[in-house]
Amino acid sequence: MSVTVLGAGAFGAALATALCVRGPVTLWARAGAEDMARDRAVPRLPGVRLPDAVLPTADLARAAEADIVMLAVPMQALGPFLDRLPLSLAGKALVACCKGLDLERLTGPSAVIGQACPDAVAAVLTGPSFADDIARGLPTALTLACADEARGAALQAALSTHALRLYASPDPLGAELGGALKNVVAIGCGAVMGAGLGDSARAALMTRGFAEMTRLAAHLGARPETLTGLSGLGDLALTCGSPLSRNFRYGQAIGRGDSFDASVTVEGAATARAVDALARREALDLPVCAAVARLASGEADLATLIDMLLNRPLKKE
């Protein structure tokens, strides 16, 4: 099956680099495709060169003709991007490679795909991974979730490589919620570490944040066990513990009182706002997510929010 990656940022280019060991992969770039084709360099991945089997292009219509279309665009751009695709995607496999919740719809990428392309097969690729590791061929395990288990198994077989090991799941809702919500918790953990509150506080926030992730996912109909896998707990451990995570670094900058590069996409900031709105709509108590939403929007400072969390009524675990 032919494969296209739409989006030539760090993660999209890394995926194309990893997947081209199975055969040629088309990499669509909104800008700079000619430069990438000539120089084989990726602006967002310094030191990484595209293999010859990666075919950069600016022709969106031609790129989207592939059997498998990997959507490596930011979550908040996914809906508008799908709406302007210049051809029908009926019958194709559309694999979301973004993590987050749409601010307007309050849904994850599989629902956005379903609304924009109801005749396509929606899947979600998510889990603990950094683009640089994938591009360098380091061992990485991810979740590939698709409600159609037969199509999911076919995608798993088509996209797995020796270094990129994919585990199939029939629960795209749970997988995408794990990938989205862990970014919210990672911002909080980064803020805790940036403020010098220590590893014990980070561990407590991770644990209580994971409880909120599982509670919300189960409430929305996902399988709780999905959150204990790669797309939930695995991704949470990676993102909350490494300065390579953009969401962690963003929170760290807030905790230190530093500025943060506005050109860097931080999916967790928008997701925190979406989760907060979703929790209010569903009458769910998610104090960690609510605190991160207020922190990221500048509505409250870290000291106030920590004090609020520590003064909540005592309860059983």
Please check whether residues 165 and 181 belong to one and the same domain: no
Stretch 184-211: mean pLDDT: 97
Beta bridge partners of 224: none
Q: Is residue 317 part of a domain?
A: no
Please check whether residues 71 and 207 belong to one and the same domain: no
Question: Is the pLDDT score of 255 beyond 80?
Answer: yes
Please check whether residues 105 and 223 belong to one and the same domain: no
Last residue of a domain, one of 128, 147, 170: 170
What's the predicted TM-score (pTM) here? Answer: 0.94
Q: Is residue 316 part of a domain?
A: no
Please check whether residues 56 and 18 belong to one and the same domain: yes
Last residue of a domain, one of 170, 192, 218: 170
Reported confidence tier of residue 43, pLDDT bands at 50, 70, 90: confident
Last residue of a domain, one of 170, 187, 221: 170
Reported confidence tier of residue 317, pLDDT bands at 50, 70, 90: confident
**Is 86 exposed, middle or buried, given 0-12, 13-18 or 19+ CB atoms closer than 10 A?**
exposed
**Residue from 219, 210, 45 nearest 136 by CA:** 45
CATH code where residue 284 lies: 1.10.1040.10
Residue 245: the pLDDT is: 96
Could you say which of 92, 99, 182, 316 is catalytic?
182
Please check whether residues 263 and 298 belong to one and the same domain: yes
Please check whether residues 36 and 161 belong to one and the same domain: yes
How many structural domains comprise the chain?
A: 2
- Which domain covers residue 124, as residue numbers? 3-170
Least confident of 32-46, 83-97, 121-135, 195-209: 83-97
Is residue 279 within 8 A of residue 289, CB to CB? The reply is yes
Residue 218: the pLDDT is: 97
> What confidence tens digit (pLDDT) does each residue in 62-102 have?
999 999 999 999 999 999 999 888 777 888 999 999 999 99
Residue 225: the pLDDT is: 96
> What confidence tens digit (pLDDT) does each residue in 5-32 have?
999 999 999 999 999 999 999 999 999 9
Reported confidence tier of residue 316, pLDDT bands at 50, 70, 90: confident
Residue 132: the pLDDT is: 95
Least confident of 134-143, 207-216, 308-317: 308-317
Query: Distance between alpha carbon 167 and the CA centroid of its chain, in Å?
Result: 16
Question: Is the pLDDT score of 47 beyond 80?
Answer: yes
The question of whether 182 is a catalytic residue gets the answer yes
Q: Is residue 277 part of a domain?
A: yes
Q: How far apart, in Å, are the Cα atoms of 182 and each of 67, 126, 189? A: 30, 11, 10
Please check whether residues 245 and 224 belong to one and the same domain: yes
Please check whether residues 221 and 110 belong to one and the same domain: no
Reported confidence tier of residue 151, pLDDT bands at 50, 70, 90: very high
> What confidence tens digit (pLDDT) does each residue in 113-123 have?
999 999 999 99
Q: How far apart, in Å, are the Cα atoms of 307 and each of 27, 260, 292, 311? A: 47, 24, 13, 6
> What confidence tens digit (pLDDT) does each residue in 157-175 have?
999 999 999 999 999 999 9
Please check whether residues 141 and 271 belong to one and the same domain: no
Please check whether residues 83 and 141 belong to one and the same domain: yes
